[in-house]
Structure 1
Amino acid sequence: MSDSECNESCTYTSDSENDITTCVLEGCRSIKNYKKLNKISEGTYGTVYRAKNKKNKKIVALKQLKHCSNIQNKGFALTSLREINILLQLKHENILSIKEVIIGKHLNEIYLVMEYIEHELKILLDSKASLFT
């Protein structure tokens, strides 16, 4: 993403903050690359949407992280950093993978782009319709 594209998708409060943010976000991708289709669920740490990649038309899950509103004052939420770090390290066919981390219109809107899975494990376990080995 070019600096001009990044500047269009971010909101800044000062010239010095703009310079720092542009440096940090060099090469960033934006939520503009995805179209939200519907809200899937909401939890303590984020809201999950089903979305479509505008370029390759693939369906993904977008998790908008909560607790990012004070990112400029207090830094990135520790719980979010832990989740991202663990999911990036784990490589297993039965564990959801993160494709990328993107930003929204403002720096405090952070999304995890993840593979989309039709079913939620908790619902499958609660239904007791299927047995797991």
Structure 2
Amino acid sequence: MKKIVVLLFIGVYFHTNSQPIFSEKGYPEHFIAGALIGGATSYIVYNKTGNKFKAWAFGTLTATAVGVLKEAIDPELLSGVRNSTDTMYTGLGGIVGASIVFPLKKRKPKETPNISAAFKNEIHLEFQPVNSD
């Protein structure tokens, strides 16, 4: 645990000369948003249906639809510019995020005990009076 805390501290505290996470064009942000939306949607659909392909498809389509919707309203409400590359990065993030369902294992339904079967072979104890002669 101490190693994890030290590594996390080093990674956060010291600045490196690597490429920044957030760019001027916003592509990583769109990719991350698509991955979060696609991952959450596919996980919810997989828990409801148990079908991995359906969950992946719904996650990918939801992330892409959110990207298209954001770019459609961007000029009117957010004073931005429409950019098809933003939509593409959101969709790619959705593909990656929705892929979270593939390594998941199908849960077996919890077995409930059959109470009537548990008491089927009841033991009956009979007490007989003892004669004290």
- State the TM-score, normalizing by the size of structure 2: 0.28
Higher Rg of the two aligned structures: 2
Higher helix share: 2
